[in-house]
Structure 1
Amino acid sequence: MSNMNVDQLQTNPSDHGLDEWRELKADQQPNWSEHPDFQSVISDLNSLPPLVFAGEVDRMRSRLAEVAEGRAFLLQGGDCAETFADATADKISGRIKTLLQMAVVLTYGASMPVVKMGRMAGQFSKPRSSNMEKRDGVELPSFRGEMVNGFEFTEASRAHDPNRMVKGYHTSASTLNLARSFTTGGFADLRSVNQWNRGFTQNPAHSRYESLANDIDRALKFMEACGADFDALKTTELYVGHEGLLLDYERALTRIDSRTNLPYDTSGHFIWIGERTRGLEDAHVNFLSKVRNPIGVKLGPTTTVDEALTLIDKLDPQREPGRLTFITRMGAEKIRDNLPALVEGVQSSGAKVVWVTDPMHGNTISVPSGFKTRRFNDVIDEVRGFFEVHESLGSFPGGLHVEMTGDDVAECLGGSDPINEEAFADHYESLCDPRLNHRQSLEIAFMVAEYLQRR
């Protein structure tokens, strides 16, 4: 991690236009500005130490520049919406373990470094399609993630409470402390991670991947036989990112770096703008255009080439590789038709963006039992379509963004060790969107690795 001292990051606002967003349209924001604790919460957040440091953010931007140039691959995974209760050592280690297992397989398949980013330590808020939820004639505010309100369907729980931002900050700090310990303290040793994967491939349902696991095993044994025992085998870099939805929180954690006098959003290394809040003249695009973090934007099937190019102009006017990531979420049925024009338009402009597929959000369905779910085959098909489009255009498919967990939940249908709808009753745990479980996450990594090997 960076050697930068906390006092190198100041909270004093500078002339960077960091508050222009307050005069613009800001969708998906809580209604807590009149809460009696709102100003004191903002003051507390302004005075708290940064969660990440400017040097770490700069390093991640340089890693993503390698992805933009086709020399590295990005893997991002984690919960749809984190919960305070699940910020335990066991739950966090499970998510990190799964992410590391996926990364080892992808590193071997791609024959290039994999930039690892957890969808964690800040993913406590979610956009919603409706402000209100109605049950049995009772209408209450929709659940917007635990940094805004509670999941329990009561008036007290669903009230928007700014004090939850402080709880979110401290929970994120605890999560980051554990993540740093796990990735530098031996937990991330490649040899151990590969042994975990061997357990996965020994399941008859996943035996088709055993050959790839054996190849990785032989490569590691070869390095050991040659005396290779360097730090890269034992530790790894892990970055964190979340959707920068709550502008009050993101602004309160923005600091001015004393080295460069530039603003950094210290709530996470990587911040993205969602499909619902990427309005070209709106508050989220305006605010995140001011900070030095690498920025992502979710692009759905209705995105036009002009919109994509305008987003580049606003968020990456210097055309800096690693600054801007486009995360496409088209849906399996639309990606092959809708993605090519966007990629061609961006290529023609000369911009160097990172292209990442989010095969989850465009494939959400509801089943008769009332659960939201995704079919594993649809998720895989969108990933295939993403690679096919980039292969046909000669562009680089830069990464994979999935909602996943290290637990054996039942939320997405299918997979080689299949999940069926009957399992939802006992093993559906997400408070928001369905996630791939541990086995499904590893299966998608092995499938992507096979594809990368053929490139």
Structure 2
Amino acid sequence: MDWTPDSWREKTALHIPADYPNPAALEAVEKELSGYPPLVFAGEARTLRQSLANVSRGEAFLLQGGDCAESFKEFHPNNIRDTFRVLLQMAVVLTFGAALPVIKVGRIAGQFAKPRSSPTESIDGQTLPSYRGDNINGMEFISEARTPDPQRLLKAYGHAAATLNLIRAFATGGYADLRNVHKWNLEFVSGNPQENRYRALADKISESITFMEACGVDGSDVRAIREVDFYTSHEALLLGFEAAMTRVDSTSGKWYDTSAHMVWIGDRTRQPDGAHVEFCRGIENPIGLKCGPSLEADELLHLLDILNPADEAGRIVLIARFGADKAERGLAPLVRKITAEGRKVVWSCDPMHGNTIKTDGGTKTRHVDSILSEVGTFFDVCRAEGAIPGGVHFEMTGQNVTECLGGSQEISEADLSSRYHTHCDPRLNASQALDLAFILADRFKESRLSGV
């Protein structure tokens, strides 16, 4: 294949900052990173591909979630633990409702950079580069902070490595054991109308494990009870960093991006002749592709020809992100075309990005009702067109934030300012995420009972 980890440099690369004051310093950092240990391993990425192949056949369900953009400021073991804990809760709820294995993929340990609609920002007559994420520049509106600094890439690597180390410990060291299902509840979720449902579900799980152990099966010897597989993902935006982390797997001789198990191409960087598609076509990781309102069915088919020419199951996750009011009109032609062509893909729904609004005071937020509406439309369209609704993709956090409106906590515009902490886009808090998990689980259960 006429591809190398750096062949993307011959293409147009959108949303990668070109204003580093010292390009030689950036090149030196990328060279240094190329000698660092991998963050994830090729075998783990292969296992995820196999699991996603199951999703594409309707034999599993994909749950992908985490921060909009991770920040150095919020880097703390408790925050990592709480986001992991909420994803475990959601997975348990969805597993029970769907009666399917749930593949858990975090937007974590690398989701630092974000594309921005404008390269600059103006406040009180002063214009500075936009904040692009903590691995590029700082959020403070001063020239020094907003100047891209390549040393931030090294700090991001360190944060990702430490995050992965902690997650692996949680996933395999006993914290994720299903016998601890009662201990996963967050304190601030107490009083949530879903709390009693979660506790009742946890009771059923505990009773089932107790019964199984009474029959002579020791839960500590069953890996599916004792541990979980948890994968990481982020947008492959800063291709210099991604290329530096791309290595040849000694087992297969193929290239893997070892910065994450799965990476995705954003809706703004999916040009078929662009740098991001060029980079992703050569790596063996599962690839996500954001599908927004401007994407035509023929272009999507062309992108699949480039990214997955052998049509291998588990390779591509198509992540629909239209907005509640555009979802049916935008998604149906894409699903119809890809289904008619018989392509092996995972269809997933990102109901966050298309539903961002601004309050009268200028605060970015999202309404849980709009998020839920888009997820419902996604399921309806997929089933109407003969496709499998395979997953969901949420921006959420385990912190007690007030960034999205509605949910069982009934967060209002007046509440937003009390705990609005995001550095970029508004996130669901744990209570709202659990609300959505139960609603999805109920929908799965109804479908199973009705045979749809």
**TM norm structure 2:** 0.94
Give, as a single letter, the amino acid of the residue that structure 2 aligns with 1:415: G
Structure 2 distance, partners of 1:298, 1:243, is 10
User: 1:276-298 deviations in whole A, cap 9, x for unaligned?
Assistant: 00011100001100000000000
User: 1:393-414 deviations in whole A, cap 9, x for unaligned?
Assistant: 2321100100000011000000
Structure 1 distance, partners of 2:97, 2:60, is 12
Residue 288, structure 1, aligned to residue 280, structure 2: yes
Displacement of 1:29 after TM fit? Answer: 0.6
Is the Cα contact below 8 Å between 2:84 and 2:167 reproduced in 1?
A: yes
Give the equivalent residue in structure 2 for 1:421.
Answer: 413
Structure 2 distance, partners of 1:97, 1:378, is 25
Is the Cα contact below 8 Å between 1:89 and 1:178 reproduced in 2?
A: yes
Q: Using a 3 Å threshold, how does the CA distance of structure 1 residues 235 and 55 change in structure 2: closer, same or farther?
A: same
Q: Using a 3 Å threshold, how does the CA distance of structure 1 residues 201 and 160 change in structure 2: closer, same or farther?
A: closer
Displacement of 1:221 after TM fit? Answer: 4.2
- Aligned residue among 89, 92, 106 for 1:104: 92
Give the equivalent residue in structure 2 for 1:223.
Answer: 212
- Aligned residue among 318, 329, 333 for 1:326: 318
Give, as a single letter, the amino acid of the residue that structure 2 aligns with 1:374: R
Give the equivalent residue in structure 2 for 1:182.
Answer: 170
- Aligned residue among 315, 319, 337 for 2:307: 315
Structure 1 distance, partners of 2:186, 2:235, is 34
Structure 2 distance, partners of 1:338, 1:82, is 30
Q: Structure 2: where are the runs of 5+ without partners?
A: 448-452
SS across alignment from 2:312: coil
Aligned residues: 442
**TM norm structure 1:** 0.93
Give the equivalent residue in structure 2 for 1:30.
Answer: 17
Give, as a single letter, the amino acid of the residue that structure 1 aligns with 2:136: V
SS across alignment from 2:148: coil
Give, as a single letter, the amino acid of the residue that structure 2 aligns with 1:261: G
Structure 2 distance, partners of 1:178, 1:196, is 16
Residue 126, structure 1, aligned to residue 114, structure 2: yes
Is the Cα contact below 8 Å between 2:60 and 2:102 reproduced in 1?
A: yes
Q: Using a 3 Å threshold, how does the CA distance of structure 1 residues 131 and 196 change in structure 2: closer, same or farther?
A: same
Give the equivalent residue in structure 2 for 1:10.
Answer: none
Q: Using a 3 Å threshold, how does the CA distance of structure 1 residues 199 and 172 change in structure 2: closer, same or farther?
A: closer
Q: Using a 3 Å threshold, how does the CA distance of structure 1 residues 417 and 261 change in structure 2: closer, same or farther?
A: same
- Percent identical across equivalent pairs? 48
Is the Cα contact below 8 Å between 1:253 and 1:266 reproduced in 2?
A: yes
Matches within 5 A, 1:46-65: 46-65=34-53
Displacement of 1:227 after TM fit? Answer: 3.9
Q: Which runs of 4+ in 1 moved over 4 A?
A: 197-202, 210-218
User: 1:374-400 deviations in whole A, cap 9, x for unaligned?
Assistant: 001000111111111122223211001
Structure 1 distance, partners of 2:445, 2:378, is 16
Displacement of 1:199 after TM fit? Answer: 8.0
Is the Cα contact below 8 Å between 1:200 and 1:206 reproduced in 2?
A: no
SS across alignment from 1:275: coil
Give, as a single letter, the amino acid of the residue that structure 2 aligns with 1:118: G
Give the equivalent residue in structure 2 for 1:272.
Answer: 264
- Aligned residue among 147, 157, 162 for 1:169: 157
Displacement of 1:322 after TM fit? Answer: 0.3
Give the equivalent residue in structure 2 for 1:7.
Answer: none
Matches within 5 A, 1:245-256: 245-256=237-248
Is the Cα contact below 8 Å between 1:197 and 1:213 reproduced in 2?
A: no
Is the Cα contact below 8 Å between 1:358 and 1:401 reproduced in 2?
A: yes
- Aligned residue among 32, 36, 44 for 2:32: 44
Is the Cα contact below 8 Å between 2:189 and 2:431 reproduced in 1?
A: no
Displacement of 1:101 after TM fit? Answer: 0.5
Structure 2 distance, partners of 1:254, 1:135, is 39
Is the Cα contact below 8 Å between 2:401 and 2:429 reproduced in 1?
A: yes
SS across alignment from 1:296: strand
Give the equivalent residue in structure 2 for 1:441.
Answer: 433
Moved more, 372-381 or 211-220: 211-220
Give the equivalent residue in structure 2 for 1:361.
Answer: 353
Displacement of 1:194 after TM fit? Answer: 4.4
